[in-house]
Protein backbone atom coordinates (compact mmCIF):
# COMPACT_ATOMS: atom_id res chain seq x y z
CA UNK A 1 0.00 0.00 0.00
CA UNK A 2 1.46 3.40 -0.95
CA UNK A 3 2.29 5.78 1.84
CA UNK A 4 2.18 8.86 -0.36
CA UNK A 5 -0.78 9.70 -2.54
CA UNK A 6 -1.94 12.88 -4.17
CA UNK A 7 -4.37 14.25 -6.73
CA UNK A 8 -3.93 16.77 -9.50
CA UNK A 9 -5.99 18.28 -12.31
CA UNK A 10 -4.83 18.44 -15.93
CA UNK A 11 -4.68 21.94 -17.38
CA UNK A 12 -5.49 23.02 -20.96
CA UNK A 13 -1.92 22.39 -22.12
CA UNK A 14 -2.04 18.75 -21.00
CA UNK A 15 0.28 19.35 -18.03
CA UNK A 16 -0.37 18.44 -14.41
CA UNK A 17 1.59 19.12 -11.25
CA UNK A 18 3.16 16.42 -9.12
CA UNK A 19 3.20 17.29 -5.39
CA UNK A 20 6.65 18.23 -4.07
CA UNK A 21 6.76 15.45 -1.46
CA UNK A 22 6.11 12.82 -4.15
CA UNK A 23 8.66 14.41 -6.48
CA UNK A 24 11.26 14.36 -3.70
CA UNK A 25 10.58 10.72 -2.81
CA UNK A 26 10.85 9.55 -6.42
CA UNK A 27 13.82 11.81 -7.22
CA UNK A 28 12.17 14.02 -9.84
CA UNK A 29 13.65 17.51 -9.83
CA UNK A 30 12.16 20.53 -11.62
CA UNK A 31 13.79 20.97 -15.03
CA UNK A 32 14.91 17.34 -15.28
CA UNK A 33 14.14 14.52 -17.71
CA UNK A 34 12.11 11.55 -16.49
CA UNK A 35 11.24 8.16 -17.86
CA UNK A 36 7.57 7.51 -18.60
CA UNK A 37 5.89 4.19 -19.38
CA UNK A 38 2.29 3.62 -20.38
CA UNK A 39 1.30 0.32 -18.78
CA UNK A 40 -1.82 -1.81 -19.15
CA UNK A 41 -2.90 -4.82 -17.09
CA UNK A 42 -3.21 -7.82 -19.39
CA UNK A 43 -6.63 -9.33 -19.98
CA UNK A 44 -8.68 -6.44 -18.60
CA UNK A 45 -10.55 -3.55 -20.11
CA UNK A 46 -9.12 -1.08 -17.62
CA UNK A 47 -7.62 2.15 -18.87
CA UNK A 48 -3.81 2.18 -19.10
CA UNK A 49 -1.87 4.15 -16.50
CA UNK A 50 1.45 6.00 -16.40
CA UNK A 51 4.60 5.08 -14.53
CA UNK A 52 6.98 8.01 -14.01
CA UNK A 53 10.48 7.24 -12.77
CA UNK A 54 14.00 8.60 -12.48
CA UNK A 55 15.93 7.59 -15.63
CA UNK A 56 18.54 5.69 -13.60
CA UNK A 57 15.94 3.63 -11.68
CA UNK A 58 13.81 1.52 -14.01
CA UNK A 59 10.59 0.22 -12.42
CA UNK A 60 9.88 -3.47 -11.93
CA UNK A 61 6.73 -4.72 -13.66
CA UNK A 62 4.78 -7.85 -12.79
CA UNK A 63 3.90 -10.51 -15.34
CA UNK A 64 0.35 -9.16 -15.51
CA UNK A 65 1.50 -5.73 -16.68
CA UNK A 66 2.37 -4.99 -20.30
CA UNK A 67 4.20 -1.86 -21.48
CA UNK A 68 2.17 -0.15 -24.22
CA UNK A 69 4.52 2.78 -24.83
CA UNK A 70 7.76 4.12 -23.37
CA UNK A 71 9.15 7.62 -23.77
CA UNK A 72 10.87 10.53 -22.02
CA UNK A 73 9.07 13.34 -20.24
CA UNK A 74 10.13 16.60 -18.62
CA UNK A 75 9.37 18.14 -15.24
CA UNK A 76 9.14 21.90 -15.85
CA UNK A 77 10.17 24.64 -13.40
CA UNK A 78 6.71 24.67 -11.78
CA UNK A 79 6.88 20.93 -11.00
CA UNK A 80 4.43 19.95 -13.75
CA UNK A 81 4.87 16.84 -15.88
CA UNK A 82 5.03 17.57 -19.61
CA UNK A 83 3.92 14.63 -21.77
CA UNK A 84 3.54 14.13 -25.50
CA UNK A 85 0.03 14.05 -26.99
CA UNK A 86 0.20 10.36 -27.95
CA UNK A 87 0.78 9.41 -24.29
CA UNK A 88 -2.18 11.51 -23.21
CA UNK A 89 -4.35 9.82 -25.85
CA UNK A 90 -3.25 6.32 -24.79
CA UNK A 91 -4.25 6.96 -21.17
CA UNK A 92 -7.39 8.92 -22.21
CA UNK A 93 -6.34 12.01 -20.25
CA UNK A 94 -8.04 15.27 -21.21
CA UNK A 95 -8.05 18.82 -19.80
CA UNK A 96 -9.95 19.16 -16.50
CA UNK A 97 -9.58 15.45 -15.74
CA UNK A 98 -8.31 14.41 -12.33
CA UNK A 99 -5.30 12.11 -11.87
CA UNK A 100 -4.24 10.12 -8.82
CA UNK A 101 -0.50 9.95 -8.11
CA UNK A 102 0.92 7.21 -5.85
CA UNK A 103 4.46 6.30 -4.83
CA UNK A 104 5.15 2.60 -5.41
CA UNK A 105 8.22 0.37 -5.30
CA UNK A 106 11.18 -0.34 -3.03
CA UNK A 107 12.57 2.27 -0.68
CA UNK A 108 15.82 2.63 -2.63
CA UNK A 109 14.17 3.35 -5.98
CA UNK A 110 10.44 4.15 -5.91
CA UNK A 111 8.44 5.37 -8.89
CA UNK A 112 5.16 7.24 -9.32
CA UNK A 113 2.03 5.58 -10.69
CA UNK A 114 -0.42 8.03 -12.26
CA UNK A 115 -3.99 6.84 -12.84
CA UNK A 116 -6.82 8.53 -14.71
CA UNK A 117 -9.70 9.35 -12.33
CA UNK A 118 -11.99 10.98 -14.90
CA UNK A 119 -13.64 14.39 -15.02
CA UNK A 120 -13.09 16.72 -12.08
CA UNK A 121 -16.64 16.94 -10.76
CA UNK A 122 -18.65 16.19 -7.68
CA UNK A 123 -19.86 12.68 -7.14
CA UNK A 124 -23.61 12.06 -7.34
CA UNK A 125 -23.77 11.64 -3.57
CA UNK A 126 -22.12 15.03 -3.03
CA UNK A 127 -24.59 16.58 -5.46
CA UNK A 128 -27.56 14.95 -3.70
CA UNK A 129 -26.62 16.16 -0.24
CA UNK A 130 -25.83 19.60 -1.61
CA UNK A 131 -22.23 19.74 -0.49
CA UNK A 132 -21.54 22.96 -2.32
CA UNK A 133 -25.06 24.29 -2.39
CA UNK A 134 -26.01 27.31 -4.44
CA UNK A 135 -23.31 29.62 -5.78
CA UNK A 136 -20.62 27.06 -4.81
CA UNK A 137 -20.44 28.51 -1.27
CA UNK A 138 -21.63 25.55 0.77
CA UNK A 139 -24.52 25.10 3.12
CA UNK A 140 -24.75 25.90 6.80
CA UNK A 141 -23.51 23.02 8.85
CA UNK A 142 -25.98 23.41 11.70
CA UNK A 143 -29.65 24.24 11.50
CA UNK A 144 -31.75 25.55 14.36
CA UNK A 145 -35.23 24.14 14.84
CA UNK A 146 -37.78 25.31 17.39
CA UNK A 147 -40.41 23.05 18.87
CA UNK A 148 -43.44 24.57 20.56
CA UNK A 149 -45.18 22.35 23.12
Q: Looking at residue 92, which CATH number applies to its domain?
A: 3.40.1550
CB atoms within 10 A of CB 91: 22
- The larger pLDDT score, comparing residue 124 to residue 75, is at 75
Determine, yes or no, domain membership for 149.
no
Average pLDDT over every residue of 67-82: 89
Determine, yes or no, domain membership for 31.
yes
**pLDDT exceeds cutoff 50 at 1:** no
**pLDDT exceeds cutoff 80 at 16:** yes
Q: What is the pLDDT of residue 120?
A: 66
In sequence order, the 6+-apart residues with CB closer than 8 A to the CB of 109 are 53, 54, 57
Determine, yes or no, domain membership for 17.
yes
> Which of the four pLDDT bands, split at 50, 70 and 90, describes residue 14?
confident
Determine, yes or no, domain membership for 88.
yes
Average pLDDT over every residue of 60-66: 84
3-state secondary structure the chain: CCCCEEEEECCCCCCEECCHHHHHHHCCCCCCEEEEEEEEECCCCCCCEEEEECCCCCCCCCCCEEEEEEEEEEECCCCEEECCHHHHHHCCCCCCEEEEEEEECCCCCCEEEEEEEEECCCCHHHHHHCCCCHHHCCCCCCCCCCCCC
Q: What is the pLDDT of residue 2?
A: 59
Q: Count how many domains the chain has.
A: 1
Determine, yes or no, domain membership for 148.
no
**pLDDT exceeds cutoff 80 at 141:** no
pLDDT tens digits, 77-131: 988 998 888 888 888 888 888 989 999 888 888 999 999 888 866 566 656 666 5
Determine, yes or no, domain membership for 146.
no
C-alpha span between 33 and 27 (Å, rounded):
11
Residue 42 structural domain:
5-136
What global pTM score does this model have? Answer: 0.74
Amino acid sequence: MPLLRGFSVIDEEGKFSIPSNIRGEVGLNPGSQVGVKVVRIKGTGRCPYLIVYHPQRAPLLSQLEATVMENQGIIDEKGRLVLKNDMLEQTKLEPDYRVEIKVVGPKRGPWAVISNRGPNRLTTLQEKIGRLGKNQRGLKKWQTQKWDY
